[in-house]
Structure 1
């Protein structure tokens, strides 16, 4: 099969198209003919070796966390997915197996979900990792409930956009930070209060909207980009940071928060992820949540997608077209 592989850790130049052996599904696995693969910040971080604490690299290695395609074969014990079924999933690359930048990928059945009928392959491939990260931050860690006030920092990102929509569906009230060009976009997704983070007025604007502070801050950006985040919380509130794996980003100051009676957590999508993705798929199928804005690139342009993400130049979700 055709795949994008790396033979070593490094920059975007290590990404190369190659012919490699097609994997075969083991017990409990599904072989997917990949149509589209989503590109995430975690992909370039994986390429540069920043996931070394989570997985063992075995070269040649195929990157890619997200995929959408059709069932090509199933392993022992998988009986509920007929061949040709349209599916989407997070790949098992987080467990050190080959990912989605290939014509075929083996994925655990426990992570596999049928695609909603109202999504095409590109839109479906743009969903899993950002949506699961937002879900984990709001619900698994943040215990979001109806009526709570939440600040989504980075509402213009794919993760932030899903977080705004999930919080709206859960009956929460939402404020979001974003660039000036995304103010109308985050409001359309469900944010009552949209704040241009570059204008330097996050705290005063948020205080006017939530004088006692918000119940939950979900930091989708990290890297110290939300100054004095703990000051934005009400008494007993919680700061949840999405795991960034970026060098130098140590996450929330857990000790300082505890001294002030505040809570903190770091969120990441757990494997296998099918149970949460099923809930997300139901919201997508009902039209209550929509996939992010995206740009589709040919598989051969994978380095371009990586460079855009790494340099902060991607204005839309990057998706690779693997097969027509």
Structure 2
């Protein structure tokens, strides 16, 4: 089978198309024929290192495909089932999705409804699960998402044209929230509106805090934050009492976060940092159930008409796909691995 691998950390040039044996599933494992693989920033950051590689690694956490074979003891899946995967490359260096077949424990697979495309199954895993976590960490908010779960609440999504931001906008609207988002350009504003944001603020040309406060005079309930350091001052200005800042990124930041003690003290503000790798499989699976429900009823979709343009690459061009992600292309990067 064809697989993209790397044997040392570095830039996209370390990725190469190779031939590998088709892996056999062991007890409790499932072999999946990958139809679509997706690229996220976490994939090229892992490829760049640091750390040591014990052997050839296959990149990419996200993918969707068809069950090809099951190991002993597997009863939840059968050959022919359509699935998407949970953090494939985190399971082992050889289990990334940039290959024609991969083997994973059955608990890392999620059923993909027949009405949902492989593109959505691959494209919304890491971004939507991150967004789901961000929208469910407030102490007085819902632990799960469903229609009406965020009714009466106002959510601020910074960077609403990014993949996580897009998923957060779509999921928050599905759950009934009023959504405000900040973006840098008019083109990105159009994408955020296409995703469903009712209010879009251009932080590059406006007093973002004043505009947000005019929209939400009592403050926003949850901030889904991609740029924690540069937006720290904004949080205290627009957050409601007992509001939550769910932090998943520090874009344009320094790696350190400085907060104004007094204002956050009196707000009883809550900062929740989040990353999927250590959140626990139980929470990943709970989030996956809600994400699948949103996919099933059409409330979560890819495409420019939903604010997330798609950029396609062949498996042999995985290095170019990674390079596009590193260069900050707006939209979702997908890799066609095998025919649907």
What is the TM-score with the length of structure 2 in the denominator?
A: 0.85
Counterpart among 282, 288, 298 of residue 287 in structure 1: 298
Does residue 112 of structure 1 match 2:118?
A: no
SS at 2:136's partner residue? Answer: helix
1:170–1:120 distance in 2 versus 1, CA, 3 Å: closer
**1:277 alignment partner in structure 2:** 288
Q: Is the 8 A contact 1:149 1:172 kept in 2?
A: yes
1:223–1:235 distance in 2 versus 1, CA, 3 Å: closer
Does residue 242 of structure 1 match 2:248?
A: yes
By how many angstroms is 1:8 displaced? Answer: 0.7
Counterpart among 303, 314, 318 of residue 319 in structure 2: 303
**2:272 alignment partner in structure 1:** 265
Does residue 5 of structure 1 match 2:5?
A: yes
1:167–1:199 distance in 2 versus 1, CA, 3 Å: same
Q: Distance in 1 between matches of 2:326 and 2:41?
A: 7
Q: Distance in 1 between matches of 2:257 and 2:4?
A: 32
**2:97 alignment partner in structure 1:** 100
SS at 1:61's partner residue? Answer: coil
Q: Is the 8 A contact 2:226 2:251 kept in 1?
A: no
By how many angstroms is 1:71 displaced? Answer: 0.4
Does residue 205 of structure 1 match 2:240?
A: no
SS at 1:289's partner residue? Answer: coil
**2:41 alignment partner in structure 1:** 41
SS at 2:217's partner residue? Answer: coil
**1:29 alignment partner in structure 2:** 29
SS at 1:279's partner residue? Answer: helix
**1:163 alignment partner in structure 2:** 168
Does residue 132 of structure 1 match 2:126?
A: no
1:222–1:306 distance in 2 versus 1, CA, 3 Å: farther
What is the TM-score with the length of structure 1 in the denominator?
A: 0.89
By how many angstroms is 1:246 displaced? Answer: 9.3
By how many angstroms is 1:159 displaced? Answer: 0.8
Unaligned runs of 5+ in 1: none
Q: Is the 8 A contact 1:57 1:96 kept in 2?
A: no
1:226–1:188 distance in 2 versus 1, CA, 3 Å: farther
Q: Distance in 2 between matches of 1:212 and 1:305?
A: 43
Q: Is the 8 A contact 1:92 1:108 kept in 2?
A: no
**1:66 alignment partner in structure 2:** 62
By how many angstroms is 1:119 displaced? Answer: 2.5
SS at 1:259's partner residue? Answer: helix
1:40–1:221 distance in 2 versus 1, CA, 3 Å: farther
Greater shift, 2-11 or 218-227, is seen at 218-227
Q: Is the 8 A contact 1:31 1:74 kept in 2?
A: yes
Number of residues of Structure 1 aligned to a counterpart in Structure 2: 319
Q: Distance in 1 between matches of 2:252 and 2:128?
A: 19
